[in-house]
Structure 1
Amino acid sequence: MLTALIIDDEAPSREELKALLAAAPDVEVLGECANAIEGLSAIHRLRPDVVFLDIQMPRLSGLEMVGMIDASALPQIVFVTAYDEHALKAFEEHAADYLLKPIDPQRLARTLDWLRSGVRHSPRAFPGSTEKLRQIPCFGRNRIFLLALDEVEFIHTDLAGVQVIGNQRQGTTELSLKILQERTSLIRCHRQFLVNLDQITEIELLDNGAAEIITRSGRRVPVSRRHLREMKDRLLIP
């Protein structure tokens, strides 16, 4: 049984694909998402075998979304797009496959046969998916939003997940600390914390060799002895 997730901002496109997949007795559609932020959450929660993913979506593209997923959680990716075939040549070696809208049922059948074979593409960087992030997809109280990186004071993990703390807003993100460290200018100051150097107003040195950062909003962020020297170097502190 193949489990699938559909991510597309156009409802008619999602319905069309869902109807086509329903004709395959060994494919189970676990869910559908109308944007990439919801899609990130659904991928980590549902762990589908394959994601049918639109490339062009508002606020966060399919390519940007794929670049935010840890390799260990990355499913097979099948792009479903209105791009012409020539434009998609650049993605052939990275994605499991691609389907052009409107979807040809015979073309979809070949894609499903390939997926059933069990052959997996090795995780690779998608074109445009390794650029530095300028905003972080977050979930807040009854809402989803993108928090601009320059608003972020720090990010930390707790039992509820990865928490993004901004000047005015805060939320939970599906991105891991590892991805956020690799794809942003935030630096690690503690095993559970990343900090925005531009949001630091003071560093208070402690007797045990560690330290605490005080941010622009007055919040305190721990700095371990292991990471204190790196932070001083980045801030040109002797």
Structure 2
Amino acid sequence: MTLRIAIVDDEAPARDKLRRYLKDAAGFELIGEADSGGAAVTLISRERPDVVLLDVRMPDMDGFAVLEALGDSLPSEVIFVTAHGDYALQAFEVHAFDYLLKPVSPERFDRLLQRLRQRLSPRQDIGQRLEGLLDALPAPVGYVAHLLIEADNRAELIPVERISRIEADRNYLDIHADGRRHRMRGTLERMQARLDPACFVRINRSTLVRLAAIHELAPWPDGEYRLHMDDGSRITWTRRYLEQAPPGLLRRV
């Protein structure tokens, strides 16, 4: 069995070194490289590698933000490769397979490949691995900044500040952003936990809205409120969810 591997690092010399190590390694195929967090999300979601060699510090998104943005598209095994040792605990909290400190010696890399062969051949239940990795992701300090949307054999990163509202439809979510609707699998409860509560609030059983996207807020019968959103939609904020309103917001209406 050949294990498909991707390299993510913003420094070309670091990628070159890992590529050389993999060149003659039996049982491994390099399927792509990325030089930024955003490029990594696109590459991994498209190619679905078995293994990702992932840098921690990158200019646009760090390695942990990449994993968070990937959501259910996480690779089977993640190996952090970094010059910084102070992220090791966080790496293993997200079930990283290994943590390599730069400069990585050939001997250390060979031991890693040997362990990967033993772990993934025969292949484990990848679904169980992904669930464990997702559940173990620590609550991000700044919450997610992007959502990964997959459709028609491609993936798109949507900045959360462009989202107007998110609506639940059974096992799917409709993400409304920039006048377009994007569909992804998931639950509203899980999505709400990923988004900053200072920016997003749940207003009824099936809808999350971005507070800054509310154009107008007006009292409605039975103690409810009617929202006029910046995309022209009209939504009711039901009484059951009024307690989730930021302090002082409704008092100003």
TM-score normalised by L of structure 1:
0.70
Which segment is superposed worse, 118-127 or 69-78? 118-127
Residue 68 of structure 1: SS of its match in structure 2?
helix
Matched residue type, 2:102: K
Q: Distance in 2 between matches of 1:100 and 1:43?
A: 22
Matched residue type, 1:233: E
Q: Distance in 2 between matches of 1:48 and 1:190?
A: 38
Any residues of structure 2 matched to 1:134-149 within 5 Å, and which?
A: 135-136=145-146, 147=159, 149=161
Q: Higher helix share goes to which structure?
A: 2
Q: Does structure 1 retain, via aligned residues, the 8 Å contact 2:201–2:244?
A: no
TM-aligned CA distance change 1:182 to 1:237, over 3 Å: same
> How many percent identity over aligned positions?
26
Q: Distance in 2 between matches of 1:54 and 1:175?
A: 28
Q: Report how far residue 191 of structure 1 moved.
A: 8.0
Match of 2:89 in 1: 90
TM-score normalised by L of structure 2:
0.66
Q: Does structure 2 retain, via aligned residues, the 8 Å contact 1:213–1:222?
A: yes
- What is the root-mean-square deviation of aligned Cα atoms in Å? 4.0
Which digits, 9 at most, give the CA deviation of each residue in 1:95-117, with x for residues without a partner?
21022222211111111111112
Structure 1: 5+ residue stretches without partners = none
Q: Distance in 1 between matches of 2:32 and 2:104?
A: 19
Which segment is superposed worse, 101-110 or 89-98? 89-98
Match of 1:49 in 2: 50
- The answer to whether residue 221 in structure 2 is matched with residue 202 in structure 1 is no
Q: Report how far residue 125 of structure 1 moved.
A: 3.6
- The answer to whether residue 208 in structure 2 is matched with residue 183 in structure 1 is no
Which digits, 9 at most, give the CA deviation of each residue in 1:192-220, with x for residues without a partner?
753113432236969xxx997322x3521
Residue 143 of structure 2: SS of its match in structure 1?
coil
Q: Distance in 2 between matches of 1:199 and 1:13?
A: 42
Q: Distance in 1 between matches of 2:176 and 2:20?
A: 38
TM-aligned CA distance change 1:157 to 1:234, over 3 Å: closer
Residue 67 of structure 1: SS of its match in structure 2?
helix
Q: Distance in 2 between matches of 1:112 and 1:221?
A: 55
Any residues of structure 2 matched to 1:1-238 within 5 Å, and which?
A: 1-70=2-71, 73-84=74-85, 87-91=86-90, 93-94=92-93, 95-118=96-119, 122-123=132-133, 125=136, 130-133=140-143, 135-136=145-146, 147=159, 149=161, 152-155=163-166, 163=175, 165=177, 180-184=191-195, 185=197, 186-188=200-202, 194-200=208-214, 201-202=216-217, 213-215=227-229, 217-220=230-233, 222=235, 228-235=238-245
Structure 2: 5+ residue stretches without partners = 150-155
Q: Distance in 2 between matches of 1:212 and 1:10?
A: 50
Q: Distance in 1 between matches of 2:183 and 2:103?
A: 33
Q: Distance in 2 between matches of 1:107 and 1:77?
A: 16
Number of aligned pairs?
Answer: 219
Q: Does structure 1 retain, via aligned residues, the 8 Å contact 2:204–2:240?
A: no
Q: Report how far residue 222 of structure 1 moved.
A: 4.8
Which digits, 9 at most, give the CA deviation of each residue in 1:110-168, with x for residues without a partner?
111111122787426456x63242632679xxxx988464x64334699xx975626xx
TM-aligned CA distance change 1:137 to 1:92, over 3 Å: closer
Q: Report how far residue 70 of structure 1 moved.
A: 2.7
TM-aligned CA distance change 1:69 to 1:145, over 3 Å: closer
Q: Report how far residue 17 of structure 1 moved.
A: 1.0
Matched residue type, 2:244: R
